[in-house]
Chain A
Amino acid sequence: MGEGAIGWDGLAASLVLVVVAVVVSFRRSLGLEGTILWACVRAMVQLLLVGYALAVLIDDDTPVAASWAWVGVMLLFSAVTVQRRAPEVPGAFALALAAMGASATLSLATVFGLGIYPVAPRAIVPIAGMMIGNSISGTVSAARRVIAELSDNHAEVEARLALGQPWSDASRPYVRAALRTALTSQIENTKAVGLVLLPGAMTGLILAGTDPVDAVLVQAAVMFLILGCVATNASVVGIGLTRRLFTSDHRLARVTRRAV
């Protein structure tokens, strides 16, 4: 067992905090006890399955192609997740797949092309996982913001179209505002790292016994990659979704933001 491993006993001990969450829900009559337990069981099962799969994938005898196939499956699942979380977004699956495919390609090409990490399963799978996983909320947020901006400013957009502006010009100020909002939370996260937030990769490395400065270097690289990914995602979503919301003869489709 590695230096930072906690074993089954450690995991069982950490369940105390799940009990705390259940007790809080019960005492405050939140009605979330079942949901909390189900979420924890589901997370455990998913993580264990992934853990065993990763053990096979990153084995030295496993071909690299299997890791790339795993990345493809992650992309598909993340696109399905985006579609489920943002049902009001037309063509969300294809849009998310294109956006996350583009950002994963860009980030992995950067990581391996610049030699930050070697092209090995041990690097491909976790890095792609972090990029894609962190891109899901950014993709959903960007798509929802684009819909909200164009819906809230429907009258202004139509006034611009009525002046003879093409859809790309008529939508630009509103899509720009949407993407700024969608990117701001990631930028704020990047700024807060280290002060109020010790991110997962760094914490995991430190718990596993890595020198904190080395862990920081890894985390910084990951943060920058995530930022690049979220920016790529947001712009692909912005362009792709806006194009879908207008007809070829420059009319704005009826867009409805989701009630919150």
Chain B
Amino acid sequence: MARPWSEQNHRMPASLFSFEDVVLEADRTRILDGATAEVPDAGITCLVGASGSGKSTLLRLCNRLEVPTSGVVRFRGADVADLEPLAHRRRVGMVFQRPTPFPGTVRDNLQVACPGASDEELGAALERSALPASFLDRVADDLSGGEAQRMCLARTLVTGPQVLLMDEPTSALDASATGMLEELACGVARQGVPVVWVTHDLAQVERIADHRLLVEAGRVSDG
């Protein structure tokens, strides 16, 4: 039987991620304690909380670098546990707190993410991250902190992710590099790739967040 018009059209749009009573324990410590939340499928959502509140763990659950002890994490309605992890991680790109350049040149780094990509494709990925294509031949370990973090962003974007997870990506950067990375993330979100950004910096939340979730002692509430 067809559903009534109102039910079909007034359903809430599917969330990007939903956490359903998620508990995560590690080394006898409860990091997440029944976290329940919905991350909207657009714009920049900031997960805000103090150190040790569990916000980074929530982010790592999103691309299955962690799995919950109990509860369910969903990506656009699908249980993340049922998704093929490697394909899921390429859909859900992640930039970490500290830049993680791999040995070799910037080109080598981008080719880890996208083997066989041409220099034109790699150069375009760098330019999306506000780095010139000429950086392809630079040794990754020689980049400044801000450049290295933008290279890591380019390395993630070159996989063509549907979502971008950013785990306190500016915590090791100066104000100028921070501003540039925030601007890039806003640009990515404007292009239709939702961003989930973990931070403890309330001023940063004011600058970039379209939505916010407060993480406290392993639980989540609307910020």
Contacts and interface: CB of A to CB of B under 8 A. Distances in A.
B159 A164 contact: yes
B155 interface: yes
A33 interface: no
Contact of A155 (B63, B85, B98): B98
A245 to B, nearest CB: 14
Contacts of A173: 102-103
B190 to A, nearest CB: 23
Interface in B66-97: 66-67, 85-87, 89-90, 93-94, 96
A46 B102 CA distance: 50
A250 B103 CA distance: 22
Given A155-B96, A155-B98, A254-B26, A161 B103 contact: no
B50 interface: no
B100 interface: yes
Given A155-B96, A250-B85, A161 B65 contact: yes
Contacts of B129: none
A251 interface: yes
B65 A162 contact: yes
Interface string A145-174: 000000000011011111111100000010
A180 to B, nearest CB: 14
State which size class the interface on B falls in. 20 to 34
Given A162-B63, A162-B65, A155 B100 contact: yes
A160 B64 contact: no
A159 B100 contact: yes
A41 B124 CA distance: 71
B102 A250 contact: no
A249 interface: yes
A158 B85 CA distance: 13
Given A155-B96, A156-B102, A163 B113 contact: yes
A162 B85 contact: no
Nearest to A156: B100
Contacts of B87: 164
A163 B112 contact: yes
Contact of A164 (B66, B67, B90): B90
Contacts of A160: 102, 112
A251 B100 contact: no
Contacts of B89: 161-164
Tell which of A156, A159, A254 has the most Cβ of chain B within 10 Å: A159
B156 interface: yes
A250 B87 CA distance: 11
A251 B67 contact: yes
A246 to B, nearest CB: 11
23 contacts: A155-B96, A156-B100, A156-B102, A159-B94, A159-B100, A160-B102, A161-B65, A161-B89, A162-B65, A162-B96, A163-B112, A163-B156, A164-B86, A164-B113, A164-B159, A165-B112, A173-B102, A173-B103, A249-B64, A249-B67, A251-B64, A251-B66, A254-B27
Interface of A: 155-156, 158-166, 173, 249-251, 254
The 8 lowest CB-CB distance pairs between A and B, nearest first, are A164-B90, A159-B100, A162-B94, A249-B85, A163-B113, A164-B89, A164-B86, A155-B100
